[in-house]
Structure 1
């Protein structure tokens, strides 16, 4: 049995029964990382010595029968964007090469307190500005399913290490699809929490489009990590005081009504993606749900017109602050970073009005449904070195951004099948505002009914 392919819930149960130790599982993950990293290039740094000490401490606590944390002994990698005091924080940019973080992200503190064995950091595109993962600093991160293709971005490194088997849990963040895009392309599970469910750091903790979230290889694993990182934090005034617990336990969907929208009002969806989404709809019916195919009046043009003022107000000034008014620094930026900053813009107040109008048809639709299901990405893959400099063209393929525009909705991304090129496809399960529990209930039922990623044969043999 390959221990690196265990889910977190499986590993935790085996720890409690004394069938395997955290040390064994960590060593399996480290060996797997060494075997896959030359090709995948998804890890920025490994903390092997510290991780081995943490795994040994977990093993001792388990042996003594002490009270243990929810993530006790589970190997986990952190997205490089999330700072750890005293550690590198380079954001995939030559401009920040060698920079050291002065504070620790609250979700990292919670993950460490829950007993996880943090053993590495994962790659991102520069400043998380692209749906692909390559940079001048770290090079090209590749998809374990087909190395000609990208694992997605910006949490592409996290998606890649999960698919490759280099870790058991990982963290991500999402401002336009950055958890869900790599979840889809890598065949893993990812959750974009609703705004303020998970605490963050300034300035993006106040950005309604943005959320840090969990990634894993099962719905139960993602629920486990989400329950650890969510909840209010004294350093984030936006963080919600309500504590919501989610579950990955599978059960029937009897009595639930689910809407399926194939194109969100005008995205050009690849026939394979559409067919796999229809297979998901059939699985929902088999699980007991009432399923209707519906329409929404969105489409990529309206999405971009609505979102660009927001990005112009948030990401544009952020990139300008990084440049410090020095044109020479701009030359060190990735072309996609410059293109994104230059494309975004518009009247911010008009953008806020547009966001409210954008939300209304979704809200009206959801008065009659418990959840909405749609494709995650309209296409079946992007090249590993995709320039990503034509922002409008790239975003017209990503069906994730609408749910950042209406950022208070929870979205669980799960696989839907495979494309002929070997790259997975995926769907988004979207809930009403702040209804996290429902999307996990639907996701767990789909996981059981489809039987895709629960099959050991699902994972790539990179």
Structure 2
């Protein structure tokens, strides 16, 4: 393969090409130095090699994708005026997203054979922008777990260590990006389902503010639930978010007017950032804290003002709100399938139904709203002085692949905690506060080579702030640009 010099990535191998950023690929397409067909073939070749190990794809459309890549190449002919914003880029779309005429099982044997009768607006926007869906990605059953495994699709590990989980529920999307089998991917996030796999897979995940990206009923009305992008760089995540977001006439919850996305994220010099290491009373894996503090220092070197703060939140308070909310909505939806088909459900799904049902019995919907309002108040005081809250994405480095965690929690600093959601995940607070956007960004590795992650949380509806601050850090170091920053495969 011809070496392309002077870019953020020098492309000398098929692996280099598979890991190229979306922004670089588009630039090379326009310069006619790279063909969409060449890039798509590299991704397909890599997927055919790695998928037996990674299991990130629930369904593939490789022949159709190559044909669409050929059409994309034609769009760049001449002055390239026919090329659309995502023209020729591979976008892996989470199987949870309905696409007319394709399977829509949500990873459950209870839905085997279900075919979608309509296409979700976010998928249609990707298609209309020239994105090519070459695959759909795996999830846990009903997207109700922070890991990706199911009786329908099996296990999806993180490419960094096949004995550890890719996270969930958008685990297939995170794993595919880390493995270099897609350029962009979609996810959805009701309790961390974009940011958890981003953290475990060492990629970027953006949970937008509630109402930014259209969804299908009933999830469009759930203020905990947002759809968003996953990518290997923040700039790529911003690119895909710009296509996905915006008011849609069929979704009453989408915000109007549509957010005006800048061509380049704004300068952040001098922004004030509040660093909160424990978000109240979480115990954090030491490597996560060490890497977070190192990144805070890097932000200072980049011109940010970073001060450490504390929040009066507790894990018990957070879990009670999450359990009650899920019990009233997501848990109730899953419970309908347990009435006659409990034998087809995964053990973690049954556990989720039981826990969330108990949570809903303990707190009415009105009481959850009251609790959420009180929960935001200390953060609102922080946002009076600071533009961004910086905190860990997770308290644990990894979850064991294949473990359903119905009777134990994650390992943190060598000790086994009692509950994954309460002790291991630090994403839920920003679903409770769903109007606050959050960008999860890799911060480095632990001693065993596993990735760590931090969240850049913006003030309500300030999506561009969250992305811009995260991008400043992201651009300051090189990831995935050469083999030293990528997972290794035997």
**TM bin (shorter chain):** over 0.9
Q: Counterparts of 1:385-400 in structure 2 under 5 Å? A: 385-390=402-407, 393-395=419-421, 396-400=423-427
Q: Which residue of 2 aligns with 1:19?
A: 33
CA deviation vs aligned residue, 1:261-301 (integer Å, no higher than 9, x gap):
00100111010000010011011101001100110111211
1:238 aligns with 2:265: no
CA distance in structure 2 between the partners assigned to 1:183 and 1:80 by the alignment: 17
1:408 aligns with 2:435: yes
Q: Contact 2:173–2:185 (CA<8 Å) still a contact in 1?
A: yes
Q: Which residue of 2 aligns with 1:349?
A: 366
CA distance in structure 1 between the partners assigned to 2:488 and 2:463 by the alignment: 33
1:217 aligns with 2:229: no
Query: Which of 101, 105, 120 pairs up with 1:105?
Result: 120
1:130 aligns with 2:156: no
CA deviation vs aligned residue, 1:25-73 (integer Å, no higher than 9, x gap):
0000000001111111111111112111111110111114332211000
Query: Which of 407, 414, 430 pairs up with 2:457?
Result: 430
Q: Contact 1:76–1:170 (CA<8 Å) still a contact in 2?
A: yes
CA distance in structure 2 between the partners assigned to 1:309 and 1:231 by the alignment: 30
Q: Which residue of 1 aligns with 2:268?
A: 253
Q: Contact 1:252–1:288 (CA<8 Å) still a contact in 2?
A: no
SS of residue paired to 2:70: helix
Q: Counterparts of 1:290-439 in structure 2 under 5 Å? A: 290-323=305-338, 325-326=339-340, 329-344=341-356, 345=360, 346-390=363-407, 393-395=419-421, 396-439=423-466
Question: What TM-score, normalized by structure 1, do the two folds share?
Answer: 0.97
SS of residue paired to 1:425: strand
CA deviation vs aligned residue, 1:356-412 (integer Å, no higher than 9, x gap):
100111111110001000000001100111213258701121000000000001101
CA deviation vs aligned residue, 1:136-183 (integer Å, no higher than 9, x gap):
011111110111100100000000000000010000000000000010
CA deviation vs aligned residue, 1:324-351 (integer Å, no higher than 9, x gap):
x32xx01111111111111112322111
1:279 aligns with 2:294: yes
Q: Contact 1:44–1:138 (CA<8 Å) still a contact in 2?
A: yes
CA distance in structure 2 between the partners assigned to 1:167 and 1:39 by the alignment: 15
CA distance in structure 2 between the partners assigned to 1:241 and 1:388 by the alignment: 41
CA distance in structure 2 between the partners assigned to 1:17 and 1:450 by the alignment: 26
SS of residue paired to 1:89: coil
Q: Contact 1:76–1:167 (CA<8 Å) still a contact in 2?
A: yes
Q: Contact 1:261–1:372 (CA<8 Å) still a contact in 2?
A: yes
Q: Contact 2:19–2:480 (CA<8 Å) still a contact in 1?
A: no
Q: Which residue of 2 aligns with 1:161?
A: 176
SS of residue paired to 1:205: helix
Query: Which of 94, 102, 105 pairs up with 1:90?
Result: 105
CA distance in structure 2 between the partners assigned to 1:321 and 1:235 by the alignment: 26
Q: Contact 1:415–1:453 (CA<8 Å) still a contact in 2?
A: no
SS of residue paired to 2:164: coil
CA distance in structure 1 between the partners assigned to 2:174 and 2:139 by the alignment: 11
Q: Contact 1:179–1:192 (CA<8 Å) still a contact in 2?
A: yes
| Unpaired segments ≥5 residues, structure 2 | 1-11, 410-417
Backbone CA RMSD of aligned residues = 1.5
Q: Contact 2:187–2:229 (CA<8 Å) still a contact in 1?
A: yes
Q: Which residue of 1 aligns with 2:55?
A: 41
Q: Contact 1:133–1:141 (CA<8 Å) still a contact in 2?
A: yes
Q: Contact 2:265–2:467 (CA<8 Å) still a contact in 1?
A: no
Q: Contact 1:231–1:244 (CA<8 Å) still a contact in 2?
A: yes
1:53 aligns with 2:80: no
Residues matched between the structures, number: 459
CA deviation vs aligned residue, 1:89-139 (integer Å, no higher than 9, x gap):
111111111211111111100000000111001100000010000000111
| Unpaired segments ≥5 residues, structure 1 | none
Question: What TM-score, normalized by structure 2, do the two folds share?
Answer: 0.91
Q: Which residue of 2 aligns with 1:268?
A: 283
**Deviates further, 367-376 or 389-398:** 389-398
Q: Contact 2:326–2:332 (CA<8 Å) still a contact in 1?
A: no
Q: What is the CA distance between 1:87 and its match in structure 2?
A: 0.3
Q: Counterparts of 1:124-203 in structure 2 under 5 Å? A: 124-203=139-218
Query: Which of 427, 447, 455 pairs up with 2:474?
Result: 447
Q: What is the CA distance between 1:309 and its match in structure 2?
A: 1.5
